[in-house]
Chains A and B, each alone.
Chain A
Amino acid sequence: MAAHVTSQVLSVERTAYVQRFLRLTRISALRSLKVRYRGSALGVLWSFGNPVMMTVVYTTLFGTAFARYYDGSVTRYLLSVFVALVIVTFFMSTTSEALITVVANGTILNKIAVPPAVFPVSSVAANLYQQLLTTFPVVLVVAIVVVHDPLRVMLVPVVLLGLALLTTGFALVLSAMYVFFRDLSYLWGIVGFIFWLTSPMFYPAEVVPDRIRFWFNINPLAQQISAIREVTLAHGSIRFGLIGISLASGVLAFAIGVWLFRATRRDFMDLI
Chain B
Amino acid sequence: MTLPAIDLRDVTLIRRTQQELHYDIKRTLLNLTRGLRRNVKRHTVIDSLNVRIAHGEKVGIIGPNGSGKSTLLKLIAGVLTPTEGVVEVEGSLAPLIEIGVGFDPELNLVDNILYYGVLLGHEEAVVRAHVESILEFAELVEIRDQPTKTLSSGMSARLGFAIATEFRPDILLLDEVLAVGDERFRRKCGARIERFWDAHSTIVLVSHDLAHIARTCERVVWLDEGKARFDGDASTAVKLYLDSVPESKSFRSGEDLIAMAAASENGELLIRARSAEPEAKIFLVQDGHRRKIGADEWYGWSGFSSYEVIMVDEAIIEQIPERKTDAEGAAEEDAVT
Chain A contacts to B: CB under 8 angstroms: 20, 23-24, 27-28, 31, 34-35, 38-39, 105-114, 180-184, 187, 266-267, 269-272
Contact = CB atoms under 8 A, between A and B. Distances in A.
Given A23-B124, A180-B23, A111 B97 contact: yes
Contacts of A272: 303
A110 B305 contact: yes
A31 B111 contact: yes
18 contacts: A20-B121, A23-B118, A23-B124, A24-B119, A27-B114, A27-B115, A34-B106, A34-B107, A34-B111, A35-B107, A111-B98, A111-B101, A112-B77, A112-B119, A181-B25, A182-B24, A183-B25, A269-B79
B79 to A, nearest CB: 5
A182 to B, nearest CB: 5
B248 interface: no
Contacts, number: 83
A204 to B, nearest CB: 35
Interface of B: 15-18, 21, 23-26, 28, 74, 77-81, 95, 97-99, 101-102, 104, 106-107, 111, 114-115, 118-121, 123-124, 147, 302-303, 305
B273 to A, nearest CB: 23
B79 A110 contact: yes
A62 to B, nearest CB: 35
A187 B24 CA distance: 11
A269 B80 contact: yes
User: Majority SS of interface residues in chain A?
Assistant: helix
A34 B145 CA distance: 13
Nearest to A265: B81
A113 B115 contact: no
Given A110-B303, A113-B79, A267 B16 contact: yes
Given A35-B106, A106-B303, A183-B26, A112 B120 contact: yes
A184 B25 contact: yes
